[in-house]
Structure 1
Amino acid sequence: MDLVYNPEVWQISYWEITFRMVLALLLGGLIGLERELGGHFAGFRTHILVCLGSAAIVILSIYGFSEFASEPNVRMDPARLAAQVISGIGFLGAGTIMRTGLTISGLTTAASLWVVAAIGLTVGAGFYFGAAILTLLVAVSLFFFNKMEKRFSRTKKTRHLIIRVSKGSTCLNQVVSHLSHNGIQINKLMMETEDSSGSEGILIIRLHLKLKKTNRYEQIIAELSLIDGMRGLETEGEAI
């Protein structure tokens, strides 16, 4: 059965293009606003640009080559350009991920950029209801679940600790004794030698701790810095 060419399928009005682009701006801006208020690297404008660009690409992919749709040797593939957005946005998201000590930040912002690109693609393709529902769910996740996550993390009873001690000192034994005396269990311990031009060797010790109580944790860690032979101490990415 021969396929019948329907020119209306490949046509879009200026009004429809404008509506889709404005809607992409609003939905992307809503997600970006939460990131901006949180002080993240990729904020309000970045999310708007990603959403607008994604919408523009899918509009171009579907309607930009309509004049060639009637050619007998041309096969239209509206998803080809749009598919490249999903893979390409990963490079932008990678730029928002930062590592400080044992703490990795920016993963949520990278994910929000990726999902904003999906929102833009959805709007550009004309699936307005799907784009609205997706934006609503993302907004709920970022605005409300973020508060729940922070509340949960305050009661989390695991911590990471990095200490630097002089080689040959009894500092490590004192650290283990002090932690044990205060009810802190060491689940994992890793040691490595720090490259240093000085004559004194330094050991880097990484500890994964389990706490029974969290209310005195900061005080206990501060007391560790007073032990003889301690050359540095870092907890959850913050130097003490």
Structure 2
Amino acid sequence: MVLGSNAPWWAILLCLLAAVVLPTLIGLERQINNKSAGMRTHALVGLGAALFMVVSKYGFSDVLEANLVRLDPSRVAAQIVTGIGFIGAGLVFVRRNKVRGLTTASSIWLTAAVGSAAGAGLLLPAAFTTGAYFLVVVVYAKVIARLRVSGRRYHALQVTYVDGTGALREILQSCTNLGFQIQGFTTRPMEHLGSGVLGRALNEESVPNGPDLVEVELEIEGLAPRGTLLQELSALPAIKAISFDDENE
């Protein structure tokens, strides 16, 4: 589907709808993996890029005059490519010499391309690129994990535990027993058990005098599966919550 110079309004709205749906699918995968840019970010980036393309193609028809004013829609598309770099750069950071956020930044960059294609009426290429995205992030990850191409794998995880129970020592021991090398860790006190998101996640009512909680953020590296580590830590009685923040997942 390629829109002509006098495309009907319904065809333009169809392109904008595709620019919302396809990027939302990309954002859903990021949201499930608990990344910093999820469904809303990807949907807005895709829709914004599509609208820029629509304006570039059809927004100046009232000022066009034969042999006087000429229109180059590719100029706006080039500015989308440049501008989206600011969002992508904000998602990339370095922690202990490990570059994080590259996959999410790349997904934002690709989402802008999908939105631009949808806005230009190239719905089939936009849909194909969306499908190729899932092939890369889902299938490739499984192949790499099976072949262990990346060797030792880096994990960043947050564990919330009850203070004063010796849980931190048990957490560190569980990681080392599974062959993980601890690159570093930081701890910080949290609210009582019944307050905030953690309390709702544990289906607990507000408990003003509940146990003090501490969150430790660990950076580890090793060959053992992440699921094995999750199972080992979940068996500890003082553990209240566990979450991973892995860029390679």
Contact 2:144–2:150 at 8 Å: present in 1 too? Answer: no
Per the normalisation by structure 1, the TM-score is 0.61
> Which structure has the higher relative contact order (CA within 8 Å, separation 6+)?
2
Matched ranges for 1:133-172 at <5 A: 133-153=128-148, 156=151
The runs of 5 or more residues in structure 1 that have no matched partner are 1-7, 160-214, 223-233
Q: Counterparts of 1:85 and 1:146 in 2: how far apart (Å)? A: 29
Equivalent-residue separation in structure 1 for 2:178 and 2:18 (angstroms): 50
- Alignment check: 8 A CA contact 1:35 1:43 kept: yes
The correspondence for 1:42, drawn from 19, 37, 46, is: 37
* Residue number in structure 1 paired with 2:16: 21
Shift of 1:30: 0.6
Name the % identity.
38
Whether 2:119 is the aligned partner of 1:101: answer: no
**Alpha-carbon offset, residue 32 of structure 1:** 0.5
Aligned position for 1:78:
73
In structure 2, relative to structure 1, the CA distance for the partners of 1:140 and 1:9 (3 Å cut) is closer
Deviation at 1:79, TM superposition (A): 0.8
8 Å Cα contact 2:47/2:115 also seen in 1 = yes
- Equivalent position of 2:209 in the other structure: none
Matching residue within 86, 98, 106 for 1:91? 86
2:98 counterpart letter in structure 1: T
Aligned residues: 163
TM-score under structure 2 length normalisation: 0.59
Q: How does 1:149-228 map to 2 (within 5 A)?
A: 149-153=144-148, 156=151, 217-218=179-180, 221=181
Aligned partners of 2:144 and 2:9: how far apart in 1?
44
Give the aligned CA root-mean-square deviation in angstroms: 2.7
Q: Aligned with 1:135: secondary structure?
A: helix
The answer (yes or no) to whether the contact 1:30–1:139 under 8 Å persists in 2 is no
Which stretch has the larger CA shift, 13-22 or 67-76?
Answer: 67-76
* Corresponding residue to 1:12 among 2, 7, 10: 7
2:109 counterpart letter in structure 1 = W
How far, CA to CA, are the matches of 1:34 and 1:10 in structure 2? 35
